[in-house]
Structure 1
Amino acid sequence: MDHDEAREAKAHAAAMARMLAGRAVRASTTVTSGSLLSVGLAPRADGGYAIALRYRLGLPGVRSIARKVAAELGPGVDVRRTGRIRPLASAPRIRLGGPVPGPRPPVVTAQALGETGRARPLRPGVSIAHRDVTAGTLGAFVQVGGVLHALSNHHVLAGVPGASAGDLILQPGPADGGRVPADRVGTLAAFVPLAAGETALVDAALALLDDDEVDATYPVGSVTTTARALGGENVGKIGRTTSVTAGRVTAIELDDVVVGYGDDLGNLRFDDQIEIEGTGRTPFSRGGDSGSLVYREDGVALGLLFAGSETGGDNGRGLTYVNPIDAVLGALDATLLA
């Protein structure tokens, strides 16, 4: 199928999945509305598209829905089980309200492999977070009205109930030893709200930086332009936990990607997302990589990493979910630093 044909088939698949899921919810105590399929487009080797079907839980009723939708659409449907999908900030290691005590972590140079230390000047891929969050990744440097900011996720730079503009941002994040005031690098400037019960497109926020001296280079050099993912691209990222990794875009325009945000927000639904699997034997991302910028091999930005699954992918190490970068920048009225 070409792109337009695939989009029509996707709409049909989504409608069928909703109908079958509604029946399953009414008929069973084990299938819930949170078990709906994610439906998107999967790239094919011939340049066309198949339908991507993703189901999150291994319950028999959900697998049955996936099989019925796939059978209705015919051969070539890309069906995968993901398991639960969660935001990829680091695992909780601190009490809400303050960083862990202890000595300041060592300064990390641009040539070092570790991404959890104190990095000056700031650079993409290092640990960063709101003072009351654990740790995520500084994804990119952007400009808003000509003023320099750092880009990451909402759940990294805001992430706690009551967060507001002016809250302190630390590098490294508190989970990696960041302290107030020694490791302050800026303040929370803006974020795209996330609300329970509402469909989201991006998980994104900005920090206004105290210092304009930054190192904006990536493993592929400068990343100053953006593009929409078409599927099948070879991509990379540099993140706080897994550092430099390589992957491939396995699905685009995925709707109903349900991400578990815990007690404060519950399960949030995201539309129009990008899916990536790691290549080789390693995962593309792990907890703490949230906020990483995802770029093509030629240094063009495609998205902002925010969540990952327990299972899936050719290497079985899980799938990564990414907000389209143009949607992120548009929501924040920002541009990549040129």
Structure 2
Amino acid sequence: MDHRKARETKAQAIDYARELTAQLVRPSEVTGGEPALAIGLAPQPDGSYVLAVRYRLGLPSVRSIARKLVAEVGQDVDVRRTGRIRTLADDPSKVRPRPPVVTARALGETGRTRPLRPGISIAHVDVTAGTLGAFVHKDGVVHALSNYHVLSGSPRARVGDVIVQPGPADGGQAPRDRVGTLAARVDLEAERDATVDCAIALLDDQEVDPRYPVGRITTTAVALGGEEVAKIGRTTSVTRGRVTAIELDDVVVGYGEELGEIRFDNQIEVESTGSGPFSRGGDSGALVYREDGVALGLLFAGSESGGDNGTGLTYINPIDAVLDALGVTLV
């Protein structure tokens, strides 16, 4: 299918999946009335698209919906089992510093780093640890970009709260390791649809090192599917992957007890092209970019399983949606 036809098929599939949900799914298997089944577009080698269908393991009714959907659409479907999808801050269920062994297992930058640069450990003073994804300009001033659940962490957080580098899970403390304050965020609410998980921190020191392994990244693009991508994160450092789905709707992501599960629309899926995972806990907030140095998205969540090597799938917000929502531009 071409892009237009694939989008039409996706819209019809979503309607059909919701009809089946009302008929077949038990209340305990849904979030806010919607199934744990995401639908988007999967790119093909010849430039065409098929329907991308993603469902959790362990939910028989949802698996049944996926099968009926495949039968309805025909051969043009890419079906994958994901397991649960969760945010990728370091152990989001806890907000206190973790034992040193957690830091020791990380391959990325978990120590105190000055000047600040992309890929290092950072977090709100009451969060564990995530990744500094990029530097952005807002009103001519340099800010650090990461996820809501990294730089804010909770609806209780307020603008002006302290941000530390490294994150508390890696030994960061205030005031010793303060690097700035929470400046803005896009709020997330329980049982409300979302498109981005992002926040920025106003930096105390405006002298930063904005370089990535591929050099500076100053431009963005819309993911079309099939792109070879990379990221640098606090936990798994530099990893490489491939965009396996775009425009995914109803991606259900777990945020712990306070926010529960939140559904995201228009998301991008990436699988690892190496022997290990593309991302793990602590990589939240990393910038995902093409190998020619063009930004595609902001990493925020991952699945327990899936992908060609079985190490899970990674989900990212489209970078233009992130920048627009915050009113910022890449440095």
Q: Taking structure 2 as the reference length, what is the TM-score of the superposition?
A: 0.94
What does residue range 1-338 of structure 1 map to in structure 2 within 5 Å? Answer: 1-25=1-25, 28=26, 31-32=29-30, 33=33, 35-91=35-91, 99=97, 114-337=108-331
Query: 5+ unaligned residues in a row in structure 2: which ranges?
Result: none
Taking structure 1 as reference, are residues 272 and 29 closer, same or farther at Cα in structure 2, changes over 3 Å only? closer
How far does residue 238 in structure 1 lie from its aligned partner after superposition?
0.1
How far does residue 262 in structure 1 lie from its aligned partner after superposition?
1.1
Q: Deviations over 1:254-274 (max 9, x none)?
A: 000000111111110000000
Secondary structure at the aligned position of 1:263 is classed as helix
Q: Which one-letter code corresponds to 2:237 in the other structure? A: S
CA distance in 1, matches of 2:197, 2:315: 11
How far does residue 198 in structure 1 lie from its aligned partner after superposition?
1.2
How far does residue 169 in structure 1 lie from its aligned partner after superposition?
0.2
- Whether the 8 Å contact between 2:155 and 2:187 is mirrored in structure 1 is no
Q: Deviations over 1:96-132 (max 9, x none)?
A: 5xx5799xx9xxxxxxx64111111100000000000
How far does residue 275 in structure 1 lie from its aligned partner after superposition?
0.2
CA distance in 2, matches of 1:287, 1:10: 31
More moved, 192-201 vs 29-38 = 29-38
- Whether the 8 Å contact between 2:92 and 2:256 is mirrored in structure 1 is no
How far does residue 49 in structure 1 lie from its aligned partner after superposition?
0.4
Secondary structure at the aligned position of 1:269 is classed as strand
How far does residue 196 in structure 1 lie from its aligned partner after superposition?
1.1
- Whether the 8 Å contact between 1:56 and 1:84 is mirrored in structure 2 is yes
Query: 5+ unaligned residues in a row in structure 1: which ranges?
Result: 106-112
CA distance in 1, matches of 2:117, 2:53: 37
Secondary structure at the aligned position of 1:254 is classed as strand
- Whether the 8 Å contact between 1:141 and 1:148 is mirrored in structure 2 is yes
CA RMSD of aligned residues (A): 1.8
How far does residue 212 in structure 1 lie from its aligned partner after superposition?
1.1
Secondary structure at the aligned position of 1:274 is classed as strand
More moved, 28-37 vs 214-223 = 28-37
Secondary structure at the aligned position of 2:183 is classed as strand
- Whether the 8 Å contact between 1:139 and 1:292 is mirrored in structure 2 is yes
How far does residue 29 in structure 1 lie from its aligned partner after superposition?
6.7
Identity %: 70
Q: Taking structure 1 as the reference length, what is the TM-score of the superposition?
A: 0.93
CA distance in 1, matches of 2:128, 2:116: 18
